[in-house]
Structure 1
Amino acid sequence: MTINDNTANGTQVPYRDPRVYDEYQKKWTSIPEDEAGWLQRAQEVADILAADAEIRDKENKSPRAEVALLKHAGLLKVLGPKKFGGGGQPWSVGYKSIRKVAEADGSLGMLLGYHLLWSTTANVVGTAEQAERIQKQIIENNYFIGGAVNPRDNDLKITSEGDKIVFDGFKHFNTGGVVSDLTVLEGVYEGTEDHIFAFAPTTHQGIEFAHNWNNVGLRLTESGSVKINKVAVPWDDALGWDPAQKKPREDVLKIPFGSLLLPTIQLVFSNFYLGIALGALDYATKYTVKKTRAWPYGGDNKEHATDEFYILSTYGNFHAHLRAAVALANASGLEVNKIYETYSGDLATRAKLTARERGELAEWVASTKVVTTDTGLRVTAGVFEVTGASSTSLKVGLDRFFRDIRTHTLHDPVAYKNRELGRFQLLDEVPEPTWYT
């Protein structure tokens, strides 16, 4: 069933009725308790999404129903504190869950990944009180979080009006915002160079979506542009700021811990790239076994495509490189765990994280970004060589894996990650924190 959403500007936005997944809300009456349970739940979600992924990709409808499925499954809560009803899992489990969902549907893997990052924003750049309050709100309400934070655009302008701060501006990209419950806003406070993060209800009349996401890949991510028009939030919600002094707290924001969101989300990217590539290999494998015909003019003719030397060699090579990429991604996830487990907590504990430790984590993440980008692009394009000309038919749907990974691997040039790693290898330099490192 298709429903048209009448937005404030009169735009008609079709989406599938979220009730198509109501049965799973009744099926999943509790959240998993351990890593194995969470990965099984992610697999169940992936199996549901895989059944009609290519159809939904072509229809390009707003993913309200699919986000409802993520909510029913409890996957939005995997990292949340147990005392509020969350899963209490480390980032390594979150990353594997993202990867598993992306094997079936890259768009939903991406949405889950961005949500997990934005839902933990206050844990990194907020005070302990803010983190507690916001985590409670998100987990208890099972909220999905979007973010209007695109560093390539001009910063949102922030002014002060009494006990509130007011955001104004425009962002070309805003992943998941249209289907979110809360939106993370970020901008620069007037008269300073200091940035402020804050959460706002997505229903705020000043958050105006253009509904213009119609790209070649990741079509169900609602990553279009958004106008932020006089969106006011309380000064108390300015993450990591002293509302009385109207100044950033240096013990929260001006320490290496305060920049951990960047390597954390870069590893989110790598994991949904990896999931997409794994999904492509599995999809292509099934196609080759069932439908690909052996080449009859090679001089060493085989009866079945699965006996062809070049087909076996290609699949074997892809398998090996993806297995290595999985091992690297898992190792990097454990490095993220180690940093958060060691330094999360009170401000004195956060302050112990050194720039060197933060930088070495960034290089684990950069290494994973390079490998998953290179391998993902090679696999998702290369599977056509071993599935045959008929696999390019749109009804087959094999093309969506390449379109998805090609779209997001342009997010920030991987060449700069190679250069960064080169300086680490040759000069033992760790990178300065940036919006992309």
Structure 2
Amino acid sequence: MTRTEHTADWTTRPTTAQGWIDRAGEVAAVLAVDVLERDRANRTPHAEVQLLKDSGLVTLLGPVEHGGAGQTWSTAYRVTREVARGDGSIGQLLGYHYLWAWAARLVATDEQIAAVEELYTTNNFFFGGAVNPRDEDLVITDEGDEIVYNGRKAFSTGSKVSDLTVLEGVLQGTNDHIFAIVPSKQDGIVFNDDWDNIGQRLTESGSVEITDVRVPWASAAGYVDKKFRPLAYNTLNVPTIQLVFANFYLGIAQGALEAATSYTRDRTRPWPYGGDNKERAADEFHVLDTYGDLQSKLWAAEALVDKAGTAIEEVLHADRESVTPEQRGRVAVLVAAAKQRIADTGLEIATRIFEVTGARASASKVGLDLYWRNLRTHTLHDPVAYKRAEVGRYALLGEIPEPTWYT
């Protein structure tokens, strides 16, 4: 099977945070059945996104009055993690969707927030994003009551499976970045079929061409009379998405350890030449030592990721006017610590599991390489060394990170 199918009855929606996390576990179980086949086929994940829609996970953060679950970010992070245990690519897509669904709250006006949240929640719409501020390759021109986007973005996660796309570009003649939410299916947006990386293969993160996409100034996020009104809260977009990264890294690492322990219990043969021979590989000292080390490190990383989630939730759900630069900075440091710890731990797990599953576990049909490929691909998003340096400056000098597009 190379596409995801399900027969679950999801007509009744959960009413608690744990209920939604359990629902995400059900989705992950469906995805895990054919995750390797779908990864290799590298087909656009229409069925997988429909699975997210059918399960109700897409509107997890949406307002209750519009049919959403009205849940908080701590639940959204846990849900992202659970889905990633079954399929890292789909976990990434869902986590990015949550960020873009919240993007209006981060930067938009009250009126824009209300309109966007009603639109995506009532229609069960899925978000993608053509946002890569490192490359100023999408130019915006001011044409009176409208702004017009033209150019190209090298990455557009969610592209073909999205209903709405968040565009980001630079207003011509200025350094002003403007975000706008537009329909994904229109003549002016052409998604290219050029995402063929070794991991996270079903995230549809290829390039996109933007030609004469017109947006009313009234829909330019956070702009009033063509001027942006900045708040410390606006700069929470980077810590929020970086913790999305950490959570789907954690989910992938959990999935890797679960797959490996299952293989070792059921299929790994004991080594007959060690001098203290066992009847089962699961009883060998070096196997127990390795799994104990990896599990302990994973639990430690999970605790730090959860601690960061608790901290960021407090500011994400606070009054936007009340968030201070100091609050934002302390949260950013904690997120940086969580991200670099799970990145390192996840890659270690995805590498060392082969030492305790055996040579036969390296067969393509087993698929244990999927976890390393997924983690290795996305942990290159921005250098982890800079996250360690942010934490180091805080620990040594008491400095909090200055907001940039990556801190």
Unaligned runs of 5+ in 1: 3-15, 344-349
Q: 1:364 aligns with which of 334, 339, 364?
A: 334
Are 2:383 and 1:436 equivalent residues in the alignment? no
1:273-352 alignment, distance < 5 Å: 273-343=249-319, 350-352=320-322
* Equivalent-residue separation in structure 1 for 2:142 and 2:403 (angstroms): 28
Unaligned runs of 5+ in 2: none
* Equivalent-residue separation in structure 2 for 1:79 and 1:155 (angstroms): 31
* Equivalent-residue separation in structure 1 for 2:72 and 2:233 (angstroms): 17
Q: Runs ≥4 in structure 1, deviation > 6 angstroms?
A: none
1:132-143 alignment, distance < 5 Å: 132-143=114-125
Q: Which moved more, 1:188-197 or 1:368-377?
A: 188-197
Letter in 2 for 1:396: V
* Deviation for aligned residue 1:197: 0.5
Q: Deviations over 1:28-50 (max 9, x none)?
A: 11321111110110011011001
Q: What residue is the counterpart of 1:163 in the other structure?
A: 145
Are 2:246 and 1:247 equivalent residues in the alignment? no
* Equivalent-residue separation in structure 2 for 1:156 and 1:260 (angstroms): 23
CA contact (8 A) 2:134 2:405 kept: no
* Equivalent-residue separation in structure 1 for 2:338 and 2:356 (angstroms): 26
* Equivalent-residue separation in structure 2 for 1:352 and 1:97 (angstroms): 28
Q: What residue is the counterpart of 1:227 in the other structure?
A: 209
Q: Deviations over 1:92-121 (max 9, x none)?
A: 100000000001100000000000000111
Letter in 2 for 1:140: T
3-state SS in 2 of match to 1:120 = helix
* Deviation for aligned residue 1:420: 0.9
Give the TM-score normalised by structure 2: 0.98
Q: Deviations over 1:310-353 (max 9, x none)?
A: 1000001111111111111111111111112322xxxxxx2321
Q: 1:40 aligns with which of 11, 17, 22?
A: 22
Q: Deviations over 1:204-248 (max 9, x none)?
A: 111111111111001111011111111111111101001xx3222
3-state SS in 1 of match to 2:366 = coil
CA contact (8 A) 1:264 1:336 kept: yes
Letter in 1 for 2:94: L
Q: Deviations over 1:48-103 (max 9, x none)?
A: 00111111111111000100000000101111111111111110100000000001
Computed over aligned residues only, the root mean square deviation of the Cα atoms, in angstroms, reads 1.2
3-state SS in 1 of match to 2:152 = strand
Question: Taking every aligned residue pair, what percent have the same amino acid on both sides?
Answer: 54
* Deviation for aligned residue 1:155: 4.0
Q: What residue is the counterpart of 2:355 in the other structure?
A: 385
Letter in 1 for 2:368: L
* Equivalent-residue separation in structure 2 for 1:213 and 1:340 (angstroms): 32
Alignment length (residue pairs)? 407
* Equivalent-residue separation in structure 2 for 1:276 and 1:176 (angstroms): 19
Are 2:39 and 1:57 equivalent residues in the alignment? yes
Q: What residue is the counterpart of 2:129 in the other structure?
A: 147
